[in-house]
A and B are shown apart, each in its own frame.
Chain A
Amino acid sequence: MRVFDLSLGQMLWSRRSVFLGILLGGPVFLAAAVRLIVEMSARGFRINGATASGSAVFGLIMWLLYIRFIIPILGVFFGTSLIADEVDDKTITYLFTRPVPRRAVLLGKYLAYVACTVLLVLPSVILVFFLIVPMGGSTIAGAFPSLVTDLGMLALGLIAYGAVFALVGTRLKRPLIVGLVFAFGWEPAVMLFPGYLKRLTVAYYLQALVNHEMPQDSAASVLLTLFHEVPSVAMSLLGLAVIVAVSLWFAGRAVENREYVLEQ
């Protein structure tokens, strides 16, 4: 609990706060700008000549900004640094000399990551929802069930990506680079092709929980739609649960067994 408390404060009020602010304030700012333009313009918000409904625009923002970018990048930056930051700052010794199992230290930090990111992402999504959805004929009431699903899906995404990158952070030497390659190289690439490899990604299970139409903004998106194999909700939840449990267990084991040699 003490590790959780301490880590939450550290995560919120560190250099990353600026990065977090830009990352999560961006969509809100964008949504406010879109809404302002729509309110002022006589033509409304149009996609392919048709006036786009607020729900469709919200779905687009969810896919392009949150699901494909913000959630993986938050997982990479925060997940990989759970232990790596303590090693870099040479403060890991203070934590490991406490009468607390090393596993508990990792778990406390991981829970702080989950709390921090969830408390930042969900309000951002809610603000975007209320700014965007009432445009072009959509209603809050009509789109509310999808918002609830989206919030749950994003929270699950943060939990799963955080666990995977916590494992990367505890086992590998250059976790940030590996994490970025995994999130923005391996995952999108594997999703483009048919076959079983995509089952080794978080995106495969997460995207099955999204109830918005996948945008077809590029050739890659068209391929994604073409090979979009959707597992059932139960299968996705099970897949994500297995990913979290296995990743955290291995990460905990790595922290327990690894000997951290601090550079002088």
Chain B
Amino acid sequence: MTTKTRYFVIASLLVIGVGLGTGMVAYYVGFPAGAFAGRGGPAELDYVPRDATVLAYADVRDVMTSELRQKLRSAVPIPENGQHELEAQTGINIETDIDRIVACLYPQRESTIPGAGMVLMRGRFDAGRIEGLMRDHGGQVEEYKTKRMIVASESHGIPGGSFAVAFVEPGLVAVGSDRVVRMAVDLHQAGNNPNAGVESITGNEELMNLVRSLETGNAWAVGNFDALRSRTRLPENVQNQIPAITWFAVSTHINGGIRGVLRADTRDEEAANNLRDVVRGFLALGKLQAGGRPEIQALMQSLELGGTGKTVALSFDVPLQVFDLIAGMHLKDLPKH
């Protein structure tokens, strides 16, 4: 064998050996995917408890400054009562203070209402002002694992226990049910440590796979449909009519229009085919109903049904012009002064 051939054989065997070795380590030991791809999702997911049933993310800054929002805001004046109420209660202005948010719903084991939840907000916050406002509304300041927390008692009518605000780290505030906020602080202090009973959602491989597939949007949500269904007391005949969906996901990219995808993972391929048939029927009906209404026609044309195997996907791409038409219709309907 010539030296050239020998080098080739060695190099080839080396690639095979390293490839198989790496795969084997990943399979048996489970090294972080970060060696080849990002873990996926925003960094705040590290502080979300593992059992969250619904997880949502929004790049608030991106959405707020989007062309679409500016256009809608000028065309259709939207009441901003909720926004003002939040600012009055917590001192947080969504428009200017928040860069991005991660929200999660955490169903309480003792309740069928998936009420407990938390919103992690990344941005610029005036801690003193927030604390002062919360105190004015009856909040109690306490320290939990070296983190400052303001807890409002149950009497304030908040579902899922007391309401709490915690400054998890500079520029990161956790707002939500007291129990979940404390778990976020635990996760911040101890990290993802299943042996110590502190587990973050990043350890939920099934959900993280979905999150990674949604990252292209600046707003997305993913949820365990099975868990939600089991916690709602629906009549049995209604339960039977609901398609056998295990996970659902929505991802949108908002800028000059909205494009995105609605995705549902079903229990088996048959359920996926049934769901596809149902959606196809609705799409056909929608197209028929659109008739001579150009804004609805444009919307319907942007819908595209897809997905393979157990996945059903409905993608949409609504251009800015459709919103112009909708805004035009809205203005036409307004009473003239």
Contact = CB atoms under 8 A, between A and B. Distances in A.
B97 interface: no
Contacts of A147: 23
Contact of A50 (B1, B40, B208, B311): B311
A138 interface: yes
Question: Which of B20, B24, B208 has the most CB atoms of chain A within a 10 A radius of its CB?
Answer: B20
Given A126-B16, A134-B36, A8 B26 contact: no
A125 to B, nearest CB: 9
Interface string A34-62: 00000001111011111101001000000
Nearest to B27: A144
Nearest to B249: A51
B216 A138 contact: no
B208 to A, nearest CB: 8
B181 interface: no
A91 interface: no
A9 B4 CA distance: 8
A211 interface: no
A96 B3 CA distance: 27
Contact of A140 (B12, B23, B205, B212): B23
B282 interface: no
Contact of B5 (A13, A43, A138, A145): A13
Given A123-B16, A134-B36, A49 B313 contact: yes
A135 interface: yes
A12 B33 contact: no
B307 A144 contact: no
B209 interface: yes
B308 A50 contact: yes
A5 B3 CA distance: 12
B37 A50 contact: no
A144 B216 contact: no
Contacts of A188: none
Given A9-B1, A50-B306, A123-B12, A134 B33 contact: yes
Interface in B206-246: 208-216
B19 A126 contact: yes
B308 A12 contact: no
A172 to B, nearest CB: 30
Contacts of A100: none
Contact of B24 (A8, A9, A50, A144): A144
A180 interface: no
Interface of B: 1-2, 4-5, 8-9, 12-13, 15-16, 19-20, 22-24, 26-27, 30, 33, 36-37, 40, 205, 208-216, 253, 261, 263, 304-309, 311, 313-315
Given A9-B1, A139-B26, A140-B26, 14 more contacts: A42-B253, A43-B253, A49-B261, A51-B213, A119-B9, A123-B12, A126-B19, A129-B23, A133-B36, A137-B209, A141-B27, A144-B27, A148-B20, A213-B308
Closest 10 CB pairs of A and B: A48-B306, A49-B315, A126-B19, A134-B37, A49-B306, A50-B313, A123-B15, A137-B209, A119-B12, A144-B23
11 contacts: A5-B1, A8-B1, A13-B4, A42-B253, A44-B216, A48-B304, A49-B313, A122-B15, A123-B12, A135-B37, A141-B27
